[in-house]
């Protein structure tokens, strides 16, 4: 005897219109979720912008007074410093200097008589400094070097994004010197005058100092 199988049932096919309704509903849900998770950023918003571009001029304007004070705090009388360097340059660097790229940076202060200059660089005769030590001061229009940046030991490469910014910071400090210190001095008429200088130099030749002033007063 053969057992009869129960009749099979099948779901009616989904109509095309119903498919369209389901698809539309799914699209609406997806769009709603996207809208909920999306943050609208205005045209004037800083969100999404990269890091602010470094302004050497702004940095120097803010930091020049601090560096100026730091050089003044570290400054050693030129006669004392010249004697120490002549006796033991390495010891003088340890006691008074800051490590530099090609030689230690020293901060110094002195009062002396200005000799005949060339291209804004003047020799200065300072009492107590041995005659075989030539002290010169650069007054512009071109101020060269990184003495102001490096003299205090507080400005380091790691504080900047790259070498270009680091170098630009040094140049901008030199420009601040020209504006805030040397701008009040007639640097074309210094010969024969007495000047009081506080500044910095890198020791490359113990017999020749090229000082970048952080302060310069004509007496």
- Per-residue pLDDT of the chain in tens (219 residues, 90 and over written 9): 455 555 555 555 555 556 565 555 544 444 555 555 555 555 555 545 556 789 999 999 999 999 999 999 999 999 999 999 999 999 999 999 999 888 999 999 999 999 999 999 999 999 999 999 999 999 999 999 999 999 999 999 999 999 999 999 999 999 999 999 999 999 999 999 999 999 999 999 999 999 999 999 999
Q: Would you say residue 43 lies in a domain?
A: no
Distance, CA of 174 to chain centre: 12
Q: Do 74 and 195 form a contact (C-beta atoms < 8 A)?
A: no
Q: Would you say residue 27 lies in a domain?
A: no
Token code pair at residue 101: 């790229």
What are the two backbone dihedrals, phi and then psi, of residue 215, each rounded to the nearest 5 degrees?
Answer: -145, 140
Domain total of the chain: 1
Host domain of residue 69: 58-218
pLDDT given at position 87: 97
Residue 134 exposed, middle or buried by CB count within 10 Å (0-12, 13-18, 19+): middle
Q: Would you say residue 90 lies in a domain?
A: yes
pLDDT given at position 100: 87
Q: Would you say residue 74 lies in a domain?
A: yes
Q: Would you say residue 19 lies in a domain?
A: no
Residues 154 and 135: their CA atoms lie apart, in Å, by: 25
Distance, CA of 198 to chain centre: 22
Q: Would you say residue 111 lies in a domain?
A: yes
Of 140, 74, 70, 84, nearest to 109 by C-alpha is 74
Q: Would you say residue 38 lies in a domain?
A: no
Q: Would you say residue 25 lies in a domain?
A: no
Could you tell me the pTM of the whole model?
0.76
């Amino acid at each position: 005897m053969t057992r009869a199988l129960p009749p099979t049932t099948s779901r009616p096919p989904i109509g095309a219109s119903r498919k369209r309704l389901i698809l539309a509903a799914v699209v609406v849900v997806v769009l709603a979720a996207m809208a909920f998770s999306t943050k609208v950023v205005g045209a004037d918003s800083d969100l999404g912008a990269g890091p602010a571009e470094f302004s050497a001029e702004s940095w120097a304007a803010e930091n020049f007074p601090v560096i100026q004070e730091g050089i003044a705090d570290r400054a050693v009388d030129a006669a004392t410093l010249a004697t120490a360097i002549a006796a033991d340059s390495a010891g003088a660097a340890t006691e008074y200097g800051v490590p530099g790229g090609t030689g230690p940076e020293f901060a110094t202060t002195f009062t002396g008589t200005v000799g005949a200059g060339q291209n804004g660089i003047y020799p200065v005769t300072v009492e107590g400094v041995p005659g075989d030590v030539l002290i010169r001061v650069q007054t512009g229009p071109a101020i060269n070097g990184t003495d102001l940046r490096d003299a205090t030991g507080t400005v380091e490469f790691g504080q900047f994004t790259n070498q270009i910014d680091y170098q630009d910071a040094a140049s901008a400090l030199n420009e601040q010197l020209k504006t805030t210190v040397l701008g009040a001095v007639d640097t074309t008429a210094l010969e024969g005058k007495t000047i009081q200088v506080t500044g910095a130099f890198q020791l490359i030749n113990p017999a020749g100092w090229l000082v970048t002033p952080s302060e310069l007063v004509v007496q």
